[in-house]
Structure 1
């Protein structure tokens, strides 16, 4: 059985799949695509050949069009109640995100080195120099494409996580680190956030901040276009104007970003989280018994 997850980049949430499932289900996964295991991530919209057996374990839906969930699917559990409703299964199977299984791992005690750490969505990471901005406001920056164990270490070493990346919040919550949700770009999918938060009886209440981009490059293009269009603007003066405008916008954004650490913090009820982790563990054991014939020695 082949473990399926998004692999086009080394995004933190997706990279957790082999670490979690190959440890909890050892000597099992191979490259045989005749049966597949869909793990953590919003990948239910992917289409696979009809004949393949498709085991769904804590997977979520967020994008595109769902395939028909027919007899070739063995849905053991999904990320949350919204995904369960979307694919028409018992809402009790919307347990929670599989990354919650990290609660069963021993990462040791970590000294709190950072008051606030910020982790952007991997797509947002390209839009701005977050490392520089974090340094200016005194936040620790967590690269969403860093090796996953480094990310986990940084999360555990933080007093609070400012999370645009959903799995920054999920893992922080799992490891009992308070988190603050932030949304700056349209690419942040609210359905999957609400799916996960609902699974732990929380609401998704993000702090909205106007999306910053690399403003200097954008303004340069605008100034050049205006100069070419009417022939009246002096390019040099327009560059000064837009550079000054960019500086004001940037300073305003940095101030607002720095204030995000004052926003309400979230942390799920630990008793409920433990119950959900226990349900995931039970599903792991059911899976092992059901597919024991596929084990490799």
Structure 2
């Protein structure tokens, strides 16, 4: 298959992650079947995958086409980028700068197109949740039980990034506000015009957040939920360690409550959102014209 995205996490963990595993659906909907099935052209999709480790896995392709991917998570030797590489667009201006690309190629993350491709209409989905919290997938796996409990006590909907893709998008639409540690939680919220608040708990990579926020003309301003805690899944914590985890959980609950009550949510302007979406569609047409057989 002529597409590449970050798969090793899902394979190693035996679970899915929306931000990675949406790629086959997204790219399959956008691009001609001859490109998707190509042995010569590789489409590199959404995610923070422009680094030496990830890109070494596509060296075998005669042609590599980058579509809204982002730089990060490791070293990057720019000398690898010869005339077999086609940077159609990248996630944001920081990625473009790191790659020495023209500013006009810094469009945005193509996750902005997902709700449209899923044919989900905001008007047909009722609002059910005043606030929804979306953890990073690692936080969901390591601390999900405790996070769900504290969300329940605060009257906040908990949404795992490991649910099926359409369910994930619909649940975001059902929310009046999203508080999210997962960046694709913010991207989908912005795409369906739901205000969102970025937070840090267990996993946070500032560069990718700054990169994407800049692409939609929004400030990078993350709220820290404080102390990390872990679920006692195996039941082998000592009494002291268990008490310490519960204490930290209570501090996170207080921090999340404060964020919910006092932090102003973000949402890109309608004009910027439409401009970025239209630019992404222009790139899709260009790639199809250039590479479809």
TM range (shorter): 0.7 to 0.9
Q: Which runs of 5+ in 2 are unaligned?
A: 11-15
Contact 2:142 2:231 in 1 (8 A): no
Contact 2:197 2:265 in 1 (8 A): yes
Contact 1:69 1:87 in 2 (8 A): no
1:82: how far off?
0.3
1:143 aligns to 2:160 (yes or no): yes
Aligned residues: 275
1:132: how far off?
1.6
Q: Report the counterpart of residue 275 of structure 2 in structure 1.
A: 275
Q: 1:215 to 1:40 in 2, by over 3 A?
A: closer
Q: Secondary structure at the match of 1:135?
A: helix
Instruction: Give runs of aligned pairs for residues 187-206 of structure 1, distance below 5 A.
Output: 187-206=203-222
Contact 2:130 2:156 in 1 (8 A): yes
Q: Which runs of 5+ in 1 are unaligned?
A: 224-238
Q: Please, what is the CA RMSD of the aligned residues?
A: 2.3
Q: Secondary structure at the match of 2:22?
A: helix
Contact 2:39 2:61 in 1 (8 A): no
Q: 1:287 to 1:243 in 2, by over 3 A?
A: closer
Contact 1:162 1:180 in 2 (8 A): yes
Q: Report the counterpart of residue 231 of structure 1 in structure 2.
A: none
| Aligned equivalents of 2:42, 2:159: Cα separation in 1 | 32
1:162 aligns to 2:179 (yes or no): yes
Q: Report the counterpart of residue 91 of structure 1 in structure 2.
A: 103
State TM-score, norm by structure 1. Answer: 0.85
Q: 1:33 to 1:64 in 2, by over 3 A?
A: farther
Q: Report the counterpart of residue 230 of structure 1 in structure 2.
A: none
1:258: how far off?
2.1
| Aligned equivalents of 1:126, 1:189: Cα separation in 2 | 18
- Once the two structures are superposed, residues 48-105 of structure 1 have per-residue CA deviations (whole angstroms, 9 ceiling, x without a partner) of 3265210001011111122422211000000000000001110110100011123544
1:29: how far off?
4.2
| Aligned equivalents of 1:30, 1:51: Cα separation in 2 | 13
State TM-score, norm by structure 2. Answer: 0.86
Identify the match of residue 117 of structure 1 among 118, 122, 132.
132
- Once the two structures are superposed, residues 239-269 of structure 1 have per-residue CA deviations (whole angstroms, 9 ceiling, x without a partner) of 4x66555544433332222222121100001
Q: 1:248 to 1:52 in 2, by over 3 A?
A: same
